[in-house]
Structure 1
Amino acid sequence: MKYISTRGNVEARGFIETVLMGLADDGGLMIPEEIPVVSAATLKEWEALSYQDLFLKIFSYYTNDEIPYEDLKDMVAKSYSSFRNPEVTPVQTITDKLHILELFHGPTFAFKDVALQFMGELYSYISKKQGEIIHILGATSGDTGAAAIQGVRGKEGIRICVLHPHLKVSKVQELQMTTVNDANVLNLAVKGNFDDCQGVIKELFGDLDFKGKHHLRAINSINFVRILAQTVYYFYAYLQVAKQQKLEKINFSIPSGNFGNVFSGYLAKKMGLPINKLIIATNENNILERFIKTGVYKSGDFLSTHSPSMDIQIASNFERYLYYFLGEDSQKVSEYMKKFQQEGQIVIDAEDLKRVQAEFSAHGVKNAECLEIIGKYKAEHDYLLDPHTACGIAAYETFGNDNEVCVSFATAHPAKFDEAIRLIDIKQQFPAEIEQLLSLPQYQTIVNNSKEEIVAQLEAFYNRA
C-alpha cells in the first residue's frame, strides 16, 4: 500500500516515509491510496483476539511489510505493557443500549496514550534503523503533550518539544507535562490558545527547509499513524459488545475537538466495521456541530470550558474527511482549503448536507449540561465521568434511541479534571500516580504567541550537545 496527500501534490510514499513526513509536504494530510475492506467473516474470527493481536491484524494491512512482523509485535507488546488494565481499552456496560469504552488506562490516564505509546516505540525503532536523531514537535490542548512526552522520554535518538496554551489546560495536564525534567524534553507554554499553538506547528512543518534541517516529526493527529492506532479500539469495542449481544450496526459517541478520533471511526467504517452513526460531541467551541447541522464550517470565538482538551476551533483532521466527501478529488480539496484560508469558511449545499447527516450527528454541550450529566451518572450508575466523557454521554442521550446500541468513549480519567468535578461537590480519590505530581517541581518556558520566539527556543534546544 502507498500513501498520498489529500491535496495531490506529493508522490506516493511508503509507510515509514509517511510516518516521518507527518504533515504532507504540500500542506495536505497523508492518507492510504486505497482503504482495505475487512469481511464480516473476518470480523467474526477477530472476536477472540486480544487487543494487541487485533492491533497487529489491522496494522498488517497498512505497513507494506516494511517492518518485520516480529519487530512490530515487540513494539506493540512494549507499548501496552504499561497499561493498568490487561484489556488495554475495556468496555463497561451501563445499560443494554449504552456501553462505555474506557480509554484512560495508559500511563497518563487519557486516550492519547493508546496511540502515542506505540508512536514512541515506532519512532525509536526508526531512529535506530536509520541512525538519525528525530525531533518530535507538537501542539497540545492538554492530553497529547503528556502522552507524547511519556511515550518518548529518555529514549535515545529522540527529542521532543510540546507547545501548550499557557494556563488553558487543567492543572493535572500541566503537571504531567512540566514535571518531566529529562534532557530530551522541552515544554513551551504559549500565551495564547490551542489554535495558536497548532498554527505555529503547521507553519513550521510547512517550512520544508526548517523541517528537513531539524528532522522534524509530528505526534499530533496530522500523522496518519495516530489515526490508524485509534481505529483499532473501534474494532475492539464493537467485537467486545458483539460477544455480549446480537448486533447489526452500532453507534459511537465521541468527544472531539480536532476530529482525529472521529476520523479514526470513519476509517473503521470504510474498512467494513458496521457503524450506523458517528455522534460527535463538542463543547461550546462547536465548529464541528455547526458544520453537521448547517453545512457551514467556520470557526467562532474561542471559549474556555470544563472540557479544555476540546477547546479547539480549527479541526485539523476535517481535511481528511473532506477528501472522501469530495469523491477523493484532491484538486477540489485544495480549492476548498484555499477558500477556507482566504475567507474563513467552507459552505456546502443542502443536498451535500444530507450526505453528511446520514453518517454523523453532533451536539455541542454547554458547561451546565456537562456538569449535570456528571452528577446524574454518578447518582444513577455510580460511574464518575470526566467532563469530556460527559460531553459524549450528553450527545448519546440527545441522539440515542431504544433500537440502537451505542459505545461512548471515556477519553480521560476524572482525576485529570478535578476542577470541574469539585463544582458539583463530588470528592474523588486520586490515583497515586496523579497524587504524587502535586508535590513535584515544574520545568517549562513561557513564551509569547510568536513564531520567531518559538523558533529561537527550538534552535537552542536542537543545538544542545
Structure 2
Amino acid sequence: MQYISTRGGGRPLGFCDATLAGLAADGGLFVPDTYPEFSEAELVALAGQPFEAMALAVLSRFAGGELADAELKSDIDAAMATFRHAARTPLVQIGPRDFVMELFHGPTFAFKDVAMQTLARLMDRILKARGRRATIVTATSGDTGAAAAEAFRGRDAIDLFILYPDGRVSDVQRRQMTTIADANVHTLAVAGDFDDCQRIVKALFVDRTFNERVAMSGVNSINWARVAAQITYYLFGALALGGPHRKVAFSVPTGNFGDILAGYVAGRMGLPIEKLVIATNQNDILDRTARTGRYAPGRVAPSTSPSMDIQVSSNFERLVFDLSGRDAGSVMARMADLSNGFELTDGERAAMARLFASGRADDADTARLIGEIYAETGMIVDPHTAVGLKAARETALPDGVPMVTLATAHPAKFPDAVEAGCGVVPARPAALERVMRDPERMTRVPAEIGAVADHILDHSRAVTA
C-alpha cells in the first residue's frame, strides 16, 4: 500500500516512511492510495474478538506488509496493556438505544491514548531498525500533548516538542504535559491559541531545510498511523452492537476532525455505519460547514471544552480530498488561503450529507447536558462528551439504529465544568492526584515560527549541521 498527498505533490511513500514523515512535503496530508476493505466474513470472524485482535486486523492492512504481524501484535499488546479496563474501550448503555463508549481508560485519561500508545511503539521500532533519531513536533489543544508526553517519554531515539496555547487548556491537561521529567520531552507554552500552535508546526514541516536538519516528524492526527489506530474502536463498538448486518451511528466530539475521520475510514472499509455526527462546541466551523457548505474559519472562542477550541480543522482536508473525487489540484487551491474560506460544491455537500450529520453546543448547553445526564443516569461526563451527547440527542435515526457517543475524556480532567453542570466534583484518580502535586517544567515562547525553531535547534539531539 502506498500513501499519497492530498495536494498531489511528492512521490508516494510506504507506511513506515509516511508514519515518520507525518506531513507530506507539499503541506498536504497522507492518505492511502486505496482503502482496504473487510469482507462480510471477516467482520463476522472479528465479532467478539478482543480489542487487540481488531487493532491488528486494522493496522496490518494499512502497514501493507512493511511490518510483520508479529511486530505489530507485540506493539499493540504492549500499548493496550497500559489501559485500566479489560475491554479497553467499554460500552455503557444509558438509554434504550443510546450508548457511551468510554475511551478514557488509558494512562492520560483521554481517547488520544488509544492511538498514541501504539504509535510511539511503532515509531520507536522503525527508527531503531534504521539506526535513526527523530524530532517530533506537535501542537495540542490539551489531550494530544499529554498523551504524546506519556507515550514518548524516555525514548532514546526521539525528542518530543509539544506546543500548547498558554492559559487555554485545563490545569490537569497542562500538568499532564509539564510534570513529565524525562529529558526528551520539551513543553512549550505558546502565547496564542491552538490555531497559532498548529500554524507554527505546519510551517516548520514545509520548511524543508529545517525539517531535514532536525529529522522532523509529527504525531498530531495529521499522522495517518494515528487515524488508522483509532479506526479500531469504531469496529469494536459496531460489532458489539449487532455485527456486520446492523447499522450503528456514532456521535463524535471533534475539533480537528481526526477522530471522526477514523469513523469515516471505518465505513469505507466496510463497517455498517448509518451516520457520523460531527459534534462541535461554540467553535463550530465544522457544524457550519455541514449546514451551509462553506468552510470559513473565524476567531477561536475559549470554552469549557478546550480540546475543541479550534477553527482550522486540519483533517477536514482529507475528507475534502475524497469528496472532490481525489482532485488534488482542487484541494491545493482551496487550502492555499484559508483566511477567505472555501465552498463545497453541491455534489460534495450532498455526498457529505449522506453520511454526516452535525450539531453544536455552547457552554450553557454543555453545562445543561452534564446535569441532565447525571440526573437521568447517575453518570458524570466531561464537557466534551456532553457536547457529543447533545448532538446525538438532536439526530434523527431510523428505528432500531443504536447511537454511540464517544466519551473522549475522564470527567476529572475538567472538574470545574463538571461541577458547574451537575453540582458534583468528580473523584480524581490517583494518577491525576500525582500530577497535581509534581513540579512543572515548561518554556514560554511567543507565537512566532522563528522562536520555536530556535528552541528546537538548541535542544533536539537529532540536529545535524
TM over 0.5: yes
Tell me whether 407-416 or 56-65 shows the greater mean CA deviation. Answer: 56-65
1:322 alignment partner AA? V
Deviation at 1:353, TM superposition (A): 2.2
Q: Which moved more, 1:399-408 or 1:156-165?
A: 399-408
Name the count of aligned residue pairs: 461
1:418 aligns with 2:415: yes
Stretch deviating more after TM superposition (431-440 or 200-209): 431-440
Pick one of 450, 454, 457 that aligns with 2:455.
Answer: 457
Offset at residue 41 of structure 1 (A): 2.1
1:422 CA displacement: 2.1
Cα distance in 1 for partners of 2:185, 2:368 equals 39
Instruction: Report the Cα distance in structure 2 between the residues aligned to 1:351 and 1:114, rounded to whole angstroms.
Output: 34
Partner of 1:234: 234
- The equivalent of 2:168 in structure 1 is 168
Q: Which residue identity lines up with residue 412 of structure 2 in the other structure?
A: A
Residue 10 of structure 2 is matched in structure 1 by 10
Q: Give, in whole Å, the separation in 1 of the partners of 2:391 and 2:38.
A: 29
Q: Equivalent residue for 2:425?
A: 427
What residue identity is the alignment partner of 2:90?
A: P
Q: Measure, in 2, the Cα distance between the counterparts of 1:147 and 1:348.
A: 34
Q: Is the contact made by 1:123 and 1:134 (CA closer than 8 Å) also made in structure 2?
A: no
Task: Give a deviation string over 1:169-215, Cα, whole Å, max 9, x none.
Answer: 00000010001121101000001000000000000001111111111
Task: Indicate if the aligned counterparts of 1:97 and 1:402 stay in contact, CA closer than 8 A.
Answer: no
1:87 matched to which residue of 2?
87
Taking a change above 3 Å as real, the CA distance of residues 464 and 122 of structure 1, as seen in their structure-2 partners, is: closer
Structure 2 equivalent of residue 371 of structure 1: 367
Q: CA deviation at 1:16?
A: 0.4
Task: Give SS of 1:99's match.
Answer: strand
Q: Relative to 1, partners in 2 of residues 1:442 and 1:464: Cα closer, same or farther, differing over 3 Å?
A: farther
Partner of 2:344: 348
Is residue 281–residue 361 contact of structure 2 (8 Å, CA) maintained in 1?
A: yes
Task: Specify whether residues 360 and 464 from structure 1 end up closer, same or farther in structure 2 by C-alpha distance, changes over 3 A only.
Answer: closer
SS at match of 1:9: coil
* Cross-structure match for 2:19: 19
Structure 2 contact 324–348 (Cα < 8 Å) conserved? no
Seen in structure 2, the aligned counterparts of structure 1 residues 44 and 168 have a Cα distance that, compared at 3 Å, is same
Give the Cα–Cα distance (whole angstroms) in 1 for the partners of residues 214 and 62 of structure 2: 27
User: Paired residue for 2:434, among 425, 433, 436?
Assistant: 436
The 1:328/1:383 distance shift into structure 2, 3 A limit, reads same
1:73: how far off?
A: 1.1
Contact 2:60 2:72 in 1 (8 A): no
**In structure 2, how many angstroms separate the alpha carbons of the residues matched to 1:383 and 1:170?**
21
Match of 1:140 in 2: 140
1:118 maps to what in 2? 118
Distance in 2 separating the partners of 1:427 and 1:288? 31
Which amino acid in the other structure matches residue 205 of structure 1? F
Q: Give the partner amino acid of 1:453.
A: A
TM-score, length of structure 1 as denominator length: 0.97
Letter paired with 2:133: I
Tell me, what secondary structure is at the counterpart of 1:62? helix
Pair 1:397-2:393 in alignment: yes
- Tell me how far apart the structure 2 counterparts of residues 102 and 7 of structure 1 sit (CA, whole Å): 35
Give the drift of 1:401.
Answer: 4.3
| Whole-Å separation in 1 of the counterparts to 2:200 and 2:347 | 36
Q: 3-state DSSP class of the match of 2:233?
A: helix
1:190 alignment partner in structure 2: 190
Identity of aligned residues (%): 39
Q: Which amino acid aligns with 1:415?
A: A
- State the 1:351 CA deviation: 4.7
Q: Could you tell me how far apart the structure 1 residues matched to 2:461 and 2:264 are?
A: 41
Code of the residue aligned with 1:378 in structure 2: it is: Y
How far, CA to CA, are the matches of 1:349 and 1:232 in structure 2?
31
**Change in 2 beyond 3 A, CA 1:412/1:385:** same
CA–CA distance in 2 between the matches of 1:352 and 1:124? 39
Q: Which residue of 2 aligns with 1:249?
A: 247
- Which shows bigger deviation, 53-62 or 305-314? 53-62
Paired position in structure 1 for 2:54: 54
Spell out, residue by residue over 1:82-111, the C-alpha distance to the aligned partner (whole angstroms, 9 max, x if none): 100011111111123111111000000000
2:230 partner amino acid: Q
Q: Which residue of 2 aligns with 1:324?
A: 322
Rounded to whole Å, the distance in 1 between the matches of 2:192 and 2:402 is 40
Distance 1:356 1:445 in 2: 42
Partner Cα separation in structure 1 for residue 85 and residue 326 of structure 2: 39
SS in 2 for 1:66: coil
- The alpha-carbon deviation at position 436 of structure 1 amounts to 1.8
Distance of 2:204 and 2:347 partners within structure 1: 38
Gaps of 5+ in 1: none
Aligned mates of 2:12, 2:451 — CA distance in 1? 35
Kindly tell me: are residues 94 and 402 of structure 1, through their superposed partners in 2, closer, same or farther at Cα, counting changes over 3 Å? farther
Question: What letter is aligned with 1:448?
Answer: P
Alpha-carbon separation, structure 1, partners of 2:34 and 2:398: 36
1:406 is the counterpart of 2:403: yes
Three-state SS of the structure 2 residue aligned to 1:183 is coil
| Cα distance between partner residues in 2 of 1:165 and 1:452 | 17
Q: CA deviation at 1:463?
A: 5.3
User: CA separation in 2, counterparts of 1:214 and 1:102?
Assistant: 37
Residue in structure 1 matched with residue 179 of structure 2 by the alignment: 179
Match for 2:360: what amino acid? Answer: G
In the alignment, is the contact (CA less than 8 A) between 1:400 and 1:406 conserved in 2?
no
Paired with 2:282 and 2:245, the residues of 1 have a C-alpha distance of: 33
| Amino acid paired to 2:389 | I
Q: Deviations over 1:312-358 (max 9, x none)?
A: 000000110011100112122112222x44x5211124454233222
Unaligned ranges ≥5, structure 2: none
**Residue 257 of structure 1: SS of its match in structure 2?**
coil
Q: Which amino acid in the other structure matches residue 228 of structure 1?
A: A
Q: Which amino acid aligns with 2:242?
A: A
* Deviation per residue, 1:216-269 (Å, 9 max, x gap): 1100011100110011111011011126xx963111100000000111111011
2:96 and 2:67 mapped to 1: Cα distance?
41
Say which SS state the counterpart of residue 303 (structure 1) adopts.
coil
Identify which range, 292-301 or 327-336, moves more after superposition. Answer: 327-336
